Amino acid sequence: MSWRWLLWLIPIYLIGLIVFAPARALLWFIPEQSGVNLSSVSGTLWNGQASVSATVSPQVTANFQQVQWQLRPLALLSGKAQLDFNLPQDNVVVGSGTATLGFGGSVNLQGEFNGNLQEAIQAYRLPVPVTLDGRWALSLADYTLDDLAGGQWCTKLQGTASSRGTAVRFNNNWSDLGEFATTLSCSAQNEIIATMQGDNRLGLSFTTTVSGNQQAPRVRIQGALQPGLQTPREVSEMLVFLGRPDNSGAYRFNFTL
């Protein structure tokens, strides 16, 4: 009889561990070398909140305040933690999504995120030499990294980044640039590839490749600006500083950061 009671008590005990485990237990799924840290942790593993910092490169750390999550318990049966999370207002990045963390350090992200263009440029030290206004949006259908501590950029990536209400400031005057859309993917060499077509007011097209690793990132940008009738006059006048256009009227650029 005692053995029968023990067989009942074991699953009840395991369920209790999950339900009442502190929120900090989420660190079981995050390798120490991943550069991801939790602070101001409260709640439980089931329903918790924390401030999260993630090292993107030696110069850039992404900080997210008061990140809230809810655990999907069935995923634990496969050795993974699947969380529905929310990034509230007052963060540079706002939105919600689903994160799946494996004991081996793997991560999969899906979600919809947005924010202010200039705030993101300043917070993440992006090499943009002009002042911009507008909203950006990121839609992640699938971002997968097999090992958070491995330093690579991606294993799989399918997503789009866009901006609306985009404007640039020259001499205290704002010029409307309209909307832009960029396709995100992952190469066979684990590089992030961002591609923009030239169907916008600037005739801007480019391919950006983020290679190397998170300890020593390399960014290469190849593209062209081909002004047309919709290009603001102030922008067209500034293009002379890029050099001479080619026979098609495009100002081509190719540089590495």
Q: So what's the pLDDT on residue 2?
A: 53
- Name the pTM for this structure: 0.88
Residue 35 has pLDDT above 80, yes or no: yes
Residue 237 is classified by DSSP as H
How high is the mean pLDDT of the chain? 89
Read off the pLDDT of residues 142-194 as tens digits, 9 standing for 90 and up.
Answer: 999 999 988 899 999 999 999 999 999 988 889 999 999 999 999 999 999 99
How far lies 178's CA from each of 34, 77, 82, in Å? 38, 47, 37
Q: What is the mean pLDDT of residues 2-7?
A: 53
Residue 227 has pLDDT above 50, yes or no: yes
Domain boundaries, the chain: 104-256
Residue 16 has pLDDT above 60, yes or no: no
Residue 214 has pLDDT above 90, yes or no: no
* Confidence band for 20, pLDDT divided at 50, 70 and 90: low
Q: What is the mean pLDDT of residues 102-125?
A: 94
Read off the pLDDT of residues 40-65 as tens digits, 9 standing for 90 and up.
Answer: 999 988 899 999 999 888 888 999 99
Residue among 31, 28, 64, 63 at smallest CA distance from 49: 64
Q: State both tokens at 130.
A: 């002009």
Question: Does residue 144 contact residue 108 with C-beta atoms inside 8 Å?
Answer: yes
Q: So what's the pLDDT on residue 12?
A: 46
Residue 15 has pLDDT above 60, yes or no: no
- Return the C-alpha torsion angle 32, 64, 146, 162, nearest 10: -160
Q: How far apart are the first and last CA of the chain?
A: 70
Selected residue with higher pLDDT from 3 and 225: 225
The pLDDT > 70 percentage for the chain reads 92
Question: Does residue 226 contact residue 252 with C-beta atoms inside 8 Å?
Answer: no
Q: What is the mean pLDDT of residues 15-24?
A: 64
Q: So what's the pLDDT on residue 76?
A: 77
What sign does the CA torsion over 88, 92, 97, 103 have? negative
Residue 1 has pLDDT above 60, yes or no: no
Tokens 């062209």 belong to which residue? Answer: 224
Tell me how far apart the alpha carbons of residues 218 and 250 are, in angstroms, rounded to a whole number. Answer: 26
